[in-house]
Amino acid sequence: MKTDPSLDSLVGHTVSHVWFGDYSALFLELGELTPSKLIRRDGSLGNPQGEFTVYAGFDWRIERPRSVYGSRDCTRRRQKSITAKLLGTMVTSAGVFGRLAELQIGFSSGMWLTTFGLGRGDPDWSVSFRRPSVIHLSTTQGRLSFDRRDSKPPKPKAEQAVHGNTH
């Protein structure tokens, strides 16, 4: 019998890579990284994948203990700062809140990632678990749902140049 992965399995893993996609979608790669097989148009390699990938779509923010540090509409300079502040931190908590299951992840730096959908439809976030097989956790019609297909999570059209890596 297969058991579904839990957000609790993110706890204790390190943020190994941070990147931003089109429209400021935020991606966090957790744990050991696997080099990308994707080659971009410019010939460079795509972003590596972690054991877990956290995708925060169009409505997210990074919170400090008493204020918002940055969000989807921040400048590239702030994106670089967010990358620097999250890289190497450990996930201390992960869960969902609210009637429509928004995602919230705490880090050892005292910062938090919080999603909050503003548009119609489901909240725009997912977590990809890659071991032993690929499973994506997200929301469908307001409920948590698991997708066991080996498809990729929602991917932006192009990746921006704000990248970070602890290796």
Q: Enter the pTM of the model.
A: 0.85
Q: CA 23 from chain center: how many Å?
A: 14
For residue 90, the cross-strand partners are 14
State which H helix or E strand residue 85 sits in. helix 76-86
In the prediction, which pLDDT does 133 show?
76
Average pLDDT, the chain: 86
- pLDDT per residue as tens digits for the range 50-79: 999 999 998 999 999 999 999 999 999 999
Q: How confident is the model at residue 161 (pLDDT cuts 50, 70, 90)?
A: very low
Q: How confident is the model at residue 152 (pLDDT cuts 50, 70, 90)?
A: low
What is the average per-residue pLDDT within 147-153? 63
Phi, psi of 39 (to 5 degrees): -115, 125
- pLDDT per residue as tens digits for the range 29-56: 999 999 999 999 999 999 999 999 999 9
pLDDT above 70 (res 163): no
Query: What is the C-alpha to C-alpha distance for residues 103 and 39, in angstroms, rounded to an integer?
Result: 31
For residue 139, the cross-strand partners are 144
Which of 116, 157, 155, 156 has the alpha carbon at shortest distance from 139? Answer: 116
Query: What is the C-alpha to C-alpha distance for residues 117 and 150, in angstroms, rounded to an integer?
Result: 26
Q: How confident is the model at residue 122 (pLDDT cuts 50, 70, 90)?
A: confident
In the prediction, which pLDDT does 3 show?
58
What is the average per-residue pLDDT within 101-128? 93
